[in-house]
Chain A
């Protein structure tokens, strides 16, 4: 699963630490999410989507078997 977190974060000029503080996670988690090493839980995905003001589907790109 890919995501647009880094793209949207940079577009809004938000630092990784600021995003981490807003989502109540560590900066390392943001780094892992952006690099695609870690997939967010539904709760974190929801919080991230809320932060950027978009839907989960717009923030996360579901590919192949991840779709019906």
Chain B
């Protein structure tokens, strides 16, 4: 990835963050009007999603704008993003996290089966989806490399 490509990526991220900020209130209003009279819990959850959406969007929009205005910072971030050691760390982290998640889910299925069948089956479904994602990604990259 060249510096120019990275700049375009940052500009895209900035636009996405601004869109997220703007879309959060309107999408929440839309969901509320479509769902009609909802419970107190659902209203609270929706408000949480709205506030989180705006805050995360604003944070990233400010960060990306700052990067685009400061060439030195942008170059620093570009080097961090393209640094091969950082990328190797990211790959190893994903691999280890995925393995840990699979083991924890597997143990969770067994342990939760003694207490709740619903929880156990839910975890089993999550494990199936994760396994499908792992196999899908494996065959995708096998064909690509």
Chain A interface (Cβ within 8 Å of chain B)?
20, 24-26, 28-29, 32, 38, 40-41, 43-44
Instruction: From B79, B80, B85, name the one whose CB has the most chain A CB atoms within 10 angstroms.
Output: B85
A-B contact count (CB 8 A): 24
Size of B's binding interface in residues, CB under 8 A: 8
Counting CB contacts under 8 A, is B122 at the interface?
no
Q: Does A38 lie within 8 Å of B85, measured CB to CB? A: yes
Q: How far is the CA of A29 from the CA of B82 in the complex (A)?
A: 12
Which residues of chain B come closer than 8 Å to A32, judged between CB atoms? 85
Q: Other CB < 8 Å A-B pairs besides A24-B79, A28-B85, A29-B83, 14 of them?
A: A20-B79, A24-B82, A25-B79, A25-B83, A25-B84, A26-B79, A26-B80, A26-B83, A26-B86, A29-B84, A38-B88, A40-B84, A43-B84, A44-B84
Q: How far is the CA of A38 from the CA of B86 in the complex (A)?
A: 11
Q: How far is the CA of A16 from the CA of B88 in the complex (A)?
A: 20
Which residues of chain A come closer than 8 Å to B86, judged between CB atoms? 26, 29
Considering only residues 22-81 of chain B, those with a C-beta below 8 Å from chain A are 79-80
